[in-house]
Amino acid sequence: MESATAVPSLDNTFGAHLLGSFVSLIFYGVALHQGYRYFRNRRNDASIIGFLVAVVFTLDLAQMILIMHSNYYFLVTHYASPAAITRSVWSLNLIPLVGASVTCTSQSFFLRRLSLISYTYTLVAVFAALFFLGSTVFANRGFTTDSSKFLLNERLLSGFALGAALIANTAVTLSLISVIVRSRSRAREPAHNASKRPQTLADKWTIYVVNTGSLIVLCEIVALVLAVSLPQDLWWGFFYLILVRLHVITFLSVLNARQSVMDDGSGGDSSPYARHTFARATRLATVERWNVPQLPNEAPPAVIDIKITQEVEGETESMAYETRSAPGHGERKGMDSRTSW
């Protein structure tokens, strides 16, 4: 007697899952290379950032193991077994949960990065964080059913999760791009561009596309469209597996794009100017660690040369000062004095 169990088409379901696993493995290799570069050049990086990298790497590895196990379970162990294919397995249930954990952990870095720009962007970061949390609702759905069809039948839930993540990532990406464009437009001025080398196409790709999360947004748009238009297929899952790897690659790429990690040495001077200098150095170190793009009005002030000539009866004194401006303070360096009788 023919089995009454409805078996989904393998080409559009587990076939898409398998192909997504292959491409995801390639991107996982890219993430491993980025991680190697980070730990090789870590220097004096903040402990919190090193902790985030370790957590993201652990979760990313865990999800790759789950992906491999789910493929082996359905396509090898239970090959040509319709009843087994329609039942879920623990590794398949855990894939969305671990993926959501990777996304939230890596995006916490970008939210912190965004909040350091200004108060306005802090509000954007809070807005994005709420949507990131909302996007995790789909992660727990696999634990309320023993059927693998929850990946196919939850059209509304999967669409909501992808849509919420898309809104959050779009807000973060557009905010970062706007700040970078404004700061780069100022950097193109002759006074600020004299000592900088021209940007190559690879530099622009890294700055505007990879490090801002534009690739993540593009991949999420495709996954959302497929989840809504083809709910009985798993082609949206194909892009979802790649999407998680892109979160890791973008996170590590931003860290590796930093030129240096500054050391917060305080020294022994307790004067008001020294305290201001230390506070400014701490601020700059924080900006450098989190690779925060700066608004044009927050760039360091230019050097101002002030020349003073004082004439006194019987003598003429010429003094030249070089004043290097800082917020609220001035630093006088050097004096040349000549007396004529």
Element (H, E) at 326: strand 315-326
Report pLDDT digits (tens) over 194-238: 555 667 888 788 888 888 899 999 999 999 999 888 878 889 889
| Of 37, 33, 127, 52, residue with least CA distance to 290 | 52
d(CA 105, CA 49): 11
Task: Please list, in sequence order, all residues whose beta carbon lies within 8 angstroms of the beta carbon of residue 178, skipping any fewer than 6 positions away.
Answer: none
Res. 332 pLDDT band, cuts 50 70 90: very low
Residue 8 within a domain:
no
| Of 133, 115, 140, residue with least CA distance to 125 | 115
We report the CATH number of the domain holding residue 209 as 1.20.1070
Q: Are residues 252 and 268 in the same domain?
A: no
d(CA 296, CA 333): 27
What average pLDDT score do residues 10-38 get? 92
Residue 339 within a domain:
no
Element (H, E) at 305: strand 304-312
Domain limits for position 135: 14-256
Residue 338 within a domain:
no
Q: Are residues 272 and 250 in the same domain?
A: no
Residue type, 168: A
Q: Are residues 113 and 240 in the same domain?
A: yes
Q: Are residues 31 and 137 in the same domain?
A: yes
Residue 341 within a domain:
no
What does pLDDT average to over the chain? 74
Q: Are residues 26 and 171 in the same domain?
A: yes
Q: Are residues 104 and 203 in the same domain?
A: yes
Q: Are residues 212 and 269 in the same domain?
A: no
**Are 187 and 193 within 8 A, CB to CB?**
yes
Q: Are residues 107 and 242 in the same domain?
A: yes
Report pLDDT digits (tens) over 230-256: 878 889 889 999 999 999 999 999 998
Residue 6 within a domain:
no
Most confident of 62-71, 188-197, 229-238: 62-71
Q: Are residues 86 and 163 in the same domain?
A: yes
Q: Are residues 115 and 144 in the same domain?
A: yes
Q: Give how many domains the chain has, as a whole number.
A: 3
What average pLDDT score do residues 183-196 get? 58
Residue 142 within a domain:
yes
Q: Is 277 exposed, middle or buried (0-12, 13-18, 19+ CB in 10 A)?
A: middle
Report pLDDT digits (tens) over 135-166: 877 666 655 555 555 555 566 677 788 888 99
Q: Are residues 226 and 145 in the same domain?
A: yes
The half-sphere exposure of 233 on its side-chain side, counting CA atoms within 13 A, is 17
Residue 191 within a domain:
yes
pLDDT: is 304 or 175 the higher one? 175
Give the predicted TM-score (pTM) of the model: 0.73
**CA separation, residue 81 to residues 12, 78, 142 (Å):** 17, 5, 21
Most confident of 48-52, 57-61, 265-269: 57-61
What average pLDDT score do residues 300-329 get? 48
Q: Are residues 107 and 223 in the same domain?
A: yes
Residue 152 within a domain:
yes
pLDDT: is 177 or 78 the higher one? 177
The half-sphere exposure of 262 on its side-chain side, counting CA atoms within 13 A, is 16
